[in-house]
Amino acid sequence: MLLKHFHLFPVTHTLQYLYTAVKEMNAPEFTAIGLVDGEQFMYYDSNSRKAMAKIAWLEKNEDELKQYWKDATPIYQGQENWFKDYVTTAMQSFNQTTGFHTMQFMYGCELNSNGSSRGYSKYGHDGEDFISLDLKTVSWTAAEPQTETKWDPAGHQARLCKDFLRYRCIERLKMFVFYGKKTLERKDPPTVSLFQKHSPSPEVVCHATGFFPKALMISWRKDGEDVLEDVELRETLPNQDGSFQQRSILKVSSEELQKHTYTCVIQHSSLEKEMLMEVPKGGASIALIAGVVAALVALVAVVVVGILIWKKKKNSGERRKEEDVKKPDLDTKH
């Protein structure tokens, strides 16, 4: 079945910022990172107090980009001071004055090819959701009601966030897409592999890696029919080269694999048609191949080591014989 890329995978560009404040730890007290389409483009911390570009195309000698980086450092220095004040407010809400604590602030926007967009802004405290912004009502929603009144009593911060997310964030994202179009709109196909795990329960893993953009669909079929149960789709993760990886896990017994035909289906905008990876009958063959290869590698290693030891002993014995032949008889010289 041919894919209509623009229907299944509408082009979506994202701009995201993540602030982290740490208390009582030997690390920068404040860090900020920026990501465009999931790739880090900016880094700032309270030690260096300087915003740094992390991808080459953002360092182009263009007036608009030069102005962005000129403004970035003082902006994040101000954000650092502001965020530290919010950390104090959060700790007071939780009645915390000492100990190790973290505060995170994540905000950003998305822009779709059809012109629609959305934004979000939320805070986390010690790994838990703390408070988030409802853009429709322009108000904060918190786990604890008393936090909402302490956090932004006049609603000033909520209105600033709304305006930034709806306008400035989108404008900045459009600028990044314009200058990074060649990189951000590339299409790299995935490399897909299947492997079986038996512990703690029998399952087959379909792993896709090296693809770009981030949007990718992994699904399963049993005898041509979609499988919706006993499937776990893991989070898409970044690779060091800017591409992404994702895996889907199908929990299925070896008996079921032998009775039926299971297929991993990959859909991505870089592919002209869906990629199909059929699970070998019985499933054991996947693990068996790996086991045989491992056994062969181990056998070869043992043989090689044995040969090396044998050669070493042989050479050593030959050298001793040569020395016995060549060594002068010291007793005859006196």
The pLDDT assigned to 150 comes to 72
**pLDDT band, residue 178 (cuts 50/70/90):** very high
Mean pLDDT of 84-102: 74
Rounded Cα distance, 211 and 291, in Å: 29
3-class DSSP state of 298:
helix
As its CATH architecture, domain 10-184 has: 2-Layer Sandwich (3.30)
Q: Which residues of 218-240 are buried (b: 16+ CB within 10 A; e: fewer)?
A: bbbbbeeeebeeebeeeebeeee
How confident is the model over 315-326, as pLDDT tens digits?
555 444 444 434
**36 in Cβ contact with 13 (< 8 Å):** yes
**237 in Cβ contact with 246 (< 8 Å):** yes
Peptide bond preceding 189 in cis form (omega within 30 of 0): no
Mean pLDDT of 205-215: 95
Beta bridge partners of 235: none
Rounded Cα distance, 304 and 36, in Å: 50
How confident is the model over 94-153, as pLDDT tens digits?
777 666 778 899 999 999 888 899 999 999 888 888 899 999 999 988 877 767 667 787
Backbone angles phi, psi at 152, to 5 degrees: -150, 70
The pLDDT assigned to 118 comes to 94
Closest CA to 125 of 99, 103, 141: 103
Q: Tell me the chain's radius of gyration from C-alpha atoms.
A: 30
The pLDDT assigned to 98 comes to 67
Backbone angles phi, psi at 146, to 5 degrees: -65, -20
**pLDDT band, residue 22 (cuts 50/70/90):** confident
- Which CATH number is correct for 191-285, 3.30.70.20, 2.60.40.10, 3.30.70.270, 3.40.50.11290? 2.60.40.10
Rounded Cα distance, 183 and 179, in Å: 9
**213 in Cβ contact with 112 (< 8 Å):** no
3-class DSSP state of 28:
coil
Strands 101-112, 12-23: pairing kind: antiparallel
Mean pLDDT of 71-80: 94
3-class DSSP state of 167:
helix
Structure tokens at 132: 């988030």
Rounded Cα distance, 246 and 208, in Å: 5
* Lookup result for tokens 């030891």: 309
**DSSP code of 271?**
-
**131 in Cβ contact with 147 (< 8 Å):** yes
Peptide bond preceding 213 in cis form (omega within 30 of 0): yes
Rounded Cα distance, 4 and 228, in Å: 23
Q: pTM value? A: 0.70
Rounded Cα distance, 111 and 274, in Å: 26
Rounded Cα distance, 63 and 317, in Å: 76
Domain ranges for the chain: 10-184, 191-285
Closest CA to 285 of 204, 201, 200, 192: 204
How confident is the model over 214-228, as pLDDT tens digits?
999 999 999 999 999
**pLDDT band, residue 12 (cuts 50/70/90):** confident
